[in-house]
Each structure stands twice: as structure tokens, then as C-alpha cells.
Structure 1
Amino acid sequence: MRFRSDVTVELVKSSASDADVLFAARVSTAGEKSLEEVGADAERSAGLINYLMRDRHGSPFEHNQFTFYVSAPIFVFREFMRHRTFSYNEESGRYRRLEPVFYVPGAGRKLVQEGKPGRYVFVDGSPEQHALVEQTTRRVCGEAYRGYLEMLEAGVAREVARGVLPVSIYSTMYATCNARALMNFLSLRTKREDSTFPSFPQREIEMVAERMEEHFAAAMPLTHAAWNRNGRVAP
């Protein structure tokens, strides 16, 4: 049995740069001459990228691709699937025995919800609450996994036996998107005071989003800066 309080996010491959935005945008006025912008120095056209972001001309931000490998608890993936502009392929409990790796909140995870739905905040839990969460998680996950193995050893199909496993078990997937879809995801799954439309994501999916944003900023720094400058609103 393994218990983790972190997530894994790796950029497997990408075809994404700020220059991709330029040739896509300029074809509307330059036609075949827009080919000159493929691989061009995007720094010279940072103003155009900012204009497109500010006025929400979104389609030029779609001509690129990011593919991420993500390892996280299943309950994170269930929130991920709400973003239908991504393409997903996930590890299947029908075809392989799932490994006994489970999520347990770390010491920094806020545990107590205060306020009404839509107007609530999370605050730190007491040492006793943290101890209860960890002890209960370890006990319940251990019992569930032992039951899972017992059924497998008795010849029960994997797709049936997996029904006893909690959503805190880790899964893996590949998630592919373009920059426009990624910006929309990040705007909803990160909490930032400077956002035009503040969001209040569950902390665990925010951990994934923060790692994805690091890769986005490295690949498309001008686009990322313009997005931040304009309130972190997807164009």
C-alpha cells in the first residue's frame, strides 16, 4: 500500500509556440503571405497577441497542441472530464489490476468548509481532524484493496471487483488540448485574486492545473502573459 498527497504532471509532447498564433491570425488579412509568420520572432508581434486576447478573438490560439501525462486520484479525473475540449485516454480497471496507491490529504490541505454553497471558504483543520482523516483513509483504503484482491483471486472479473475501490485510488491518463482550451481549464481550476471571474476549485485539481500552467508559460510566454494581463479569461 502506498499513500500520496501529491500529483504527477508531465508534458509528453507539444507543438506550441507564440508564433502559431501569429500566422493563424494574419491569414485573414495577408492570405498566403501569412506563411512568412511560421516560425517568426513572436516578440515583434506581442501587441497583436495582446489585442487578440483582449478582444477575445479566440480561434488563432487553437493552432497548437499540448499532451500531458497525469497521475492523480480518480476523483480529480472525474472533474477533469467535465472539460470536453480535451481528448483523454485513461488507465482502465477493466483490463489491468489497479495498483494500491491512494491519496491522503497532506498536512497543508485545508479540511473545514465554512459558509453556504457558492459563498464558502476552506480553513485549516485541527490536528485531531488531520489525524482522523489520515487514519480513516488508510484503514478504509486498506480494507477496500484487500477485498478487491480477494475477489480477483477468487476469479471475479476485474471490472466487477474494482467496484469496491474508493475514488482516492490513483489512475493515469493522457490529456491533449490546445492553448485556448487550456486557458479555459486554468481559469476555472486555479484560484487567483487577479482573475476577472474568480474561481474556487477543489485543491487537488488545482494542483494539477498549477503544473500544467508552468508548461504553458514555458512554451507560449507571450500568450501566457497576455492572458494574465487580461484577467485570465480564455479568448
Structure 2
Amino acid sequence: MTSDGTAEAAQRGAAEASEIRFRSDVTVELVKSSASDADVLFAARVSTAGEKSLEEVGADAERSAGLINYLMRDRHGSPFEHNQFTFYVSAPIFVFREFMRHRTFSYNEESGRYRRLEPVFYVPGAGRKLVQEGKPGRYVFVDGSPEQHALVEQTTRRVCGEAYRGYLEMLEAGVAREVARGVLPVSIYSTMYATCNARALMNFLSLRTKREDSTFPSFPQREIEMVAERMEEHFAAAMPLTHAAWNRNGRVAP
């Protein structure tokens, strides 16, 4: 590449880098679902009704709620697996790394090997608690000072901007995407489809939300909890009896 070409590439890269965007939220959309409380009922009743179990799905609501609560309370989990949720998630890559621990989900994520990653980065919002107090296993997060919030935001914007400019410079020089992406921080946003059934989703929610009424308290990182909260909204809408029974029984996956 000539010196003029190098200058033009640098100018183009600087212009593209100036379009860097920062977010402090996540996106969760339910793109496909075949999930209802009826799925739990017919699966459970096959044990006593055989082929007639499908005919009994329309039983009265009180009886249905009672059966689902019994299954949840006594942890008969398999009837909660005959359904499916597919979510579209847009969040920082460090959130996805935590997601991958949940191997009962199926994932497909956008690839930095095959496309240029968009310049969208996460910066904690004003309400994000910044300071950790206590020892591991017994710590809490508390609000940061205005100076700490300013430092986090300014540093994040500066470092992400520098990293993305370096990424573009390498791409302009012909470096492969899979190599150039190595300089990008885990605060860059990615997108994925995540598919699971209700049993797997309840397990995920029990671990990734913090609730005082949980039998087993969890202490999730706030950013993945933001994703979990939106997933729970979709779960509650699709399977209200199951969601209610899960809450009633301490938010423990059956």
C-alpha cells in the first residue's frame, strides 16, 4: 500500500471509529416459542392416562395449577422439558462467556471471523454499583462515588475507541478478521440465538437473578441478571401457571 493509500486508510478508519456507540442496556427478544402450561400437563398425565393424556389438557384451571404445583414441589422435572424458547440476545461478550456455562442451552453467536464487528461497547450506567466490599462468597456491591463513575466511563470510552481504531487499521492493512479482533475488549456487543426448554430456563433464572424469596440465594453479575430478568418476563407470559408454581416453591428448578 502506498503512503497515500495508508493515509487514506487511516482517515477512513478514524471516521469509522468516530461512530463508536456506547450502551448500558441489553436486548432480549423472544423470536420463537412453542411453550405453554398445557405442554407440562399432557406430558405429566401420560403416566396415568396414556394416549388419553392429550384429551385431558383442557381440564379446569384449578386442577391444572394443582398438578403443576405438585410437579414443581416434588421436583418431577421431565414434564417441564416438552417445550422450547428461542431468544435473540444482544449483550457484551463478557455476558456471553457466562452464558456458556449453561450447557442446557443451544447457542449460535455472530462470528468475528466472518464479519466485521460493529463498534458498539458496554459502559456501566449511572445505577450500576461499582465497589465490592467483603471477601469472596461474602461480599456485596455498593454504589460508587461520582468520581469513580466518571473514571469508569472516561476510561471505557478511551480504551474502547483506541482498540477499535487499531482493529480497523489491521483490517485496512489486509489482516484477517480472526486475527484483528484480538485487540477488541470483551465489552464489545455481540448477538446470539439461545434456545432452551422451561426446565433449563428455570435453572438459569434461579442462578442468574437475585431474589429474597429464593430458597438458594444467588449473586449474579448485574449484566447477566439484566438478560435473565427480560427472559423471565417472556417465561411468565408464556407459562403463567408454571412460573407461579416455580416462585411459590422457592424458585428452584425441578
**TM tier relative to shorter chain:** over 0.9
Q: Over aligned residues, Cα RMSD in angstroms?
A: 0.9
How much has 1:59 moved relative to structure 2? 0.1
TM-score, length-scaled by structure 1: 0.98
CA distances 1:3-58 after superposition (whole Å, capped 9, x unpaired): 00000000001000001100000101111111213566655411000000000000
Q: Is the 8 A contact 1:8 1:70 kept in 2?
A: yes
CA distances 1:83-135 after superposition (whole Å, capped 9, x unpaired): 00000000000000000000000000000000000000000000000000000
Alignment of 1:69-88 (within 5 A): 69-88=88-107
Structure 1 stretches of 4+ moved >2 Å: 37-44
Q: Is the 8 A contact 1:27 1:33 kept in 2?
A: yes
Rounded Cα–Cα distance in structure 2 between residues aligned with 1:145 and 1:155 = 16
Rounded Cα–Cα distance in structure 1 between residues aligned with 2:158 and 2:212 = 38
Partner of 1:197: 216
Aligned to 2:152, which of 133, 136, 150?
A: 133
Q: Is the 8 A contact 1:65 1:179 kept in 2?
A: yes
1:151/1:42 CA distance change after superposition, 3 Å: farther
- Give the secondary-structure state (helix, strand or coil) at the position aligned to 1:119: coil
1:42/1:153 CA distance change after superposition, 3 Å: farther
Partner of 2:135: 116
Partner of 1:155: 174
Rounded Cα–Cα distance in structure 2 between residues aligned with 1:105 and 1:114 = 18
- Give the secondary-structure state (helix, strand or coil) at the position aligned to 2:134: strand
1:127/1:49 CA distance change after superposition, 3 Å: same
- Give the secondary-structure state (helix, strand or coil) at the position aligned to 2:127: coil
Partner of 1:223: 242
- Give the secondary-structure state (helix, strand or coil) at the position aligned to 1:56: coil
Rounded Cα–Cα distance in structure 2 between residues aligned with 1:39 and 1:177 = 25
Partner of 2:39: 20
Identity among equivalent pairs (%)? 100
Rounded Cα–Cα distance in structure 2 between residues aligned with 1:156 and 1:41 = 64
1:152/1:43 CA distance change after superposition, 3 Å: farther
- Give the secondary-structure state (helix, strand or coil) at the position aligned to 2:41: helix
Gaps of 5+ in 2: 1-19
Mean CA deviation greater in 172-181 or 38-47: 38-47
Gaps of 5+ in 1: none
- Give the secondary-structure state (helix, strand or coil) at the position aligned to 1:12: strand
Paired residue total: 235
Q: Is the 8 A contact 1:18 1:42 kept in 2?
A: no
